[in-house]
């Protein structure tokens, strides 16, 4: 049941599930392909538009600079013009003559406005209309810039007239008149209109929509544009009017490049916006997308027709596999499944047969593991089949026994004794396994561990000694826990001996135990007994054989020779205080 109480549909027939699976996979693949293609088309279209916008920005700059350079060259020729020279033969040029000369040059240069200024920026004369006298202020500002410029000219953008709603954008230029050089006798100011004709020309060359904006920091309005007024207003530059972004206007996306017009002589902000409709750029890609949609529908229909055929071809062998699963579940591993197929289903049948053999082998291993608990011992048994007997090898035997535990257990309930022992054995046995040893047996409150069998180890003596040192630390931590519980502390003694012994399966044909046999085992047990003697004052005692087999560096104290039970000759005894 779903969270809304509705039961999800259940399809019991394999063919129905396979049909839905194939159709779903085809649908997902085709839809993913469609989405990827559509995304790639959009990304590529935006990339192409971005490149066009960058080229359009460069084209605008080049056009303005080329036109200003042309005007600058023509203005420079005015220095050699006879009529211009005659103007400056008088202290105060005649205004009518100045107007006439400038009107003549205005027509020849194709500009709407020209002004002539004294070296200090004062007005000598201008062509008049369409600009008022207030339009001279930006030229005068450029004269100040030109006076310190390297090429003695200056250019910039301005809104003329600066005040009022009727102002237009212009590109301004001031160039000097020399008589003779390097003496500057006047400045010529030229105004190149950034008008609708300029915008249309730029659009034709760059294949982009062009809009010029002017306004304050928070509100910019279109001055000239090749777009409809409403679209141009909606595409006004953001506060930072430099960069490329996608602008949504009236439900249509325009990729737009904004660039400020600098230097701007008059107050406010001015910018050019170059735009291209993303939908127009994607027109050629839509045909491919429509084809992919048709292919999606055709693929779903084909999948619906092909899936039942696959289901019929698969259902029969799958039913046979299902029946054979029931045979295996009954524990009959002798029957094998026969399918005359070379495909994956045939391989699956072969895998089922191998699984039957593996399960039979598992049952045999389980019988062996019931008699042995160590993973190393289990591997040994798998190798030799659990036969009685053993092999001679050098190992290190470790005995660890609790001291005075019998007296301690007399004051405890039997269940508490068992719980404490299991808690103690769990920690000590874990340390044995960490250092690659196996627990041979638990003898009351004692542990016998073997290092170097059944898996041969090159450093079995070091492993045994390191395990003993770690056991001592673990016992200290356990005693700290017992102290918080109000229980008595535990203490133990550890005896370690290295010797050649017989290691193998000992017992009867019905019950086996992997263990070691030899005099070296008795020596390790007797060394553990010596830890109870006060004259040694040691928890870990090792034999001389173990000391010779050790490769690591340890803090060892020589305790001399000591007699042990069951041996005529004394044994050299050493106490291990820790590792260096």
The position carrying tokens 């006076």 is 147
**Alpha-carbon gap, residue 62 to 56, rounded angstroms:** 10
Dihedral, CA of residue 383, residue 387, residue 389 and residue 390, to nearest 10: 10
For the stretch 340-377, what's the b/e string if a residue is b when 16 or more beta carbons lie within 10 angstroms of its beta carbon? eeeeebeebbeebbeebeeeeeeeeeeebbebbebebb
In CATH, the number for domain 376-579 is 3.30.70.1230
Give the torsion through C-alpha atoms of 123, 127, 131, 135, to 10 deg: -20
Give the pLDDT confidence score for residue 370 in this predicted structure: 47
- For the CA atoms of the chain, what is the radius of gyration? 51
- Which sequence spans correspond to the domains of the chain? 81-193, 376-579
Q: What is the mean pLDDT of each run of 10 residues along the chain (580 residues)?
A: 49 63 76 79 82 87 87 78 72 80 84 86 79 77 85 86 75 84 82 88 89 83 86 78 76 84 88 85 75 78 72 68 72 70 69 73 60 52 52 92 82 87 93 91 91 86 96 95 90 94 72 77 92 88 94 93 81 91
The pLDDT score that the predictor gives to residue 509 is 59
> pLDDT value at position 397?
95
Give me the residue label for tokens 């034709």.
204
pTM of the model: 0.48
- For the chain, the farthest-separated pair of C-alpha atoms sits apart, in whole angstroms, at 145
Give the pLDDT of residue 386: 46
**Torsion of the alpha carbons at 529, 535, 537 and 541, rounded to the nearest 10:** -40
Report the distance separating Cα 323 and Cα 306, nearest Å: 27
Fold of 81-193: Beta-Lactamase (3.30.450)
Q: What does each C-alpha distance from 349 to 14, 206, 253, 340, 346 come to in angstroms?
A: 19, 69, 59, 10, 5
Cis peptide before 182 (omega within 30 of 0): yes
Angle at 194 between CA 279 and CA 71, to 5 degrees: 130
């Amino acid at each position: 049941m779903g969270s809304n109480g509705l039961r999800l549909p259940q399809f019991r027939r394999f063919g129905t599930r396979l049909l839905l699976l194939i159709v779903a996979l085809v649908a997902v693949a085709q839809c993913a392909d469609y989405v990827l293609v559509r995304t790639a088309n959009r990304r590529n279209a935006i990339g192409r538009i971005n490149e066009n916008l960058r080229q359009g920005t460069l084209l605008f700059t080049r056009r303005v600079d080329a036109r200003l350079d042309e005007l600058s060259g023509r203005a420079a020729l005015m220095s050699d013009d006879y009529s211009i020279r005659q103007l400056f033969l008088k202290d105060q040029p005649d205004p009518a003559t100045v107007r006439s000369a400038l009107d003549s040059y205005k027509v020849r240069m194709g500009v709407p406005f020209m002004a002539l200024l004294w070296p200090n920026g004062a007005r000598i004369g201008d062509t008049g209309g369409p600009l008022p006298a207030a339009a001279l202020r930006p030229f005068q500002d450029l004269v100040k810039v030109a006076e310190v410029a390297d090429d003695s000219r200056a250019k910039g953008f301005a809104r003329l007239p600066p005040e009022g709603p009727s102002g237009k954008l212009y590109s301004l230029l001031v160039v000097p008149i020399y008589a003779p050089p390097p003496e500057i006798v006047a400045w010529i100011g030229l105004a190149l209109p950034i008008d609708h004709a300029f915008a249309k020309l730029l659009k034709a060359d760059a294949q982009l929509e062009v809009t010029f904006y002017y306004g304050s920091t928070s509100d910019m309005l279109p001055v000239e544009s090749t777009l409809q007024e409403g679209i141009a207003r909606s595409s006004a530059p953001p506060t930072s009017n430099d960069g490329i972004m996608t602008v949504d206007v009236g439900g249509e996306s325009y990729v737009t490049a904004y660039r400020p017009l600098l230097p701007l002589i008059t107050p406010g902000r001015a910018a050019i916006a170059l735009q291209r409709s993303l939908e127009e750029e994607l027109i050629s890609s839509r045909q491919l997308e429509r084809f992919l949609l048709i292919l999606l529908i055709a693929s779903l229909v084909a999948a619906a027709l092909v899936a039942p055929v696959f289901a019929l071809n698969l259902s029969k062998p799958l039913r046979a596999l299902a029946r054979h699963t029931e045979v295996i579940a009954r524990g009959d591993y002798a029957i094998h499944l026969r399918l005359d197929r070379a495909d994956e289903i045939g391989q699956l049948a072969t895998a089922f047969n191998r699984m039957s053999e593996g399960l039979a082998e598992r049952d045999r291993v389980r019988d062996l593991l019931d008699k042995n608990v160590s993973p190393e011992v289990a591997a040994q048994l798998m190798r030799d089949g659990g036969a009685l007997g053993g092999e001679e090898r050098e190992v290190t035997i470790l005995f660890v026994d609790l001291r005075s535990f019998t007296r301690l257990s007399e004051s405890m309930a039997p269940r508490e004794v068992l719980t404490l022992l299991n808690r103690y054995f769990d920690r000590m046995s874990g340390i044995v396994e960490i250092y690659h040893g196996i627990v041979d047996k638990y003898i009351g409150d004692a542990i016998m561990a073997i290092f170097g069998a059944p898996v041969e180890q090159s450093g079995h003596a070091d492993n045994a000694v390191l395990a003993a040192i770690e056991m001592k630390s673990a016992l200290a931590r356990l005693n700290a826990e017992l102290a918080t519980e109000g229980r008595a502390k535990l203490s133990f003694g550890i005896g370690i001996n290295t010797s050649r012994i017989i290691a193998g399966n000992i017992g009867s044909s019905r019950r086996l135990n992997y263990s070691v046999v030899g005099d070296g085992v008795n020596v390790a047990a007797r060394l553990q007994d010596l830890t109870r003697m006060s004259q040694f004052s040691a928890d870990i005692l090792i034999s001389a054989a173990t000391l010779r087999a050790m490769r690591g560096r340890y803090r060892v104290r020589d305790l001399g020779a000591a007699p042990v039970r069951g041996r005529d000759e004394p044994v050299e005894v050493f106490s291990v205080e820790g590792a260096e």
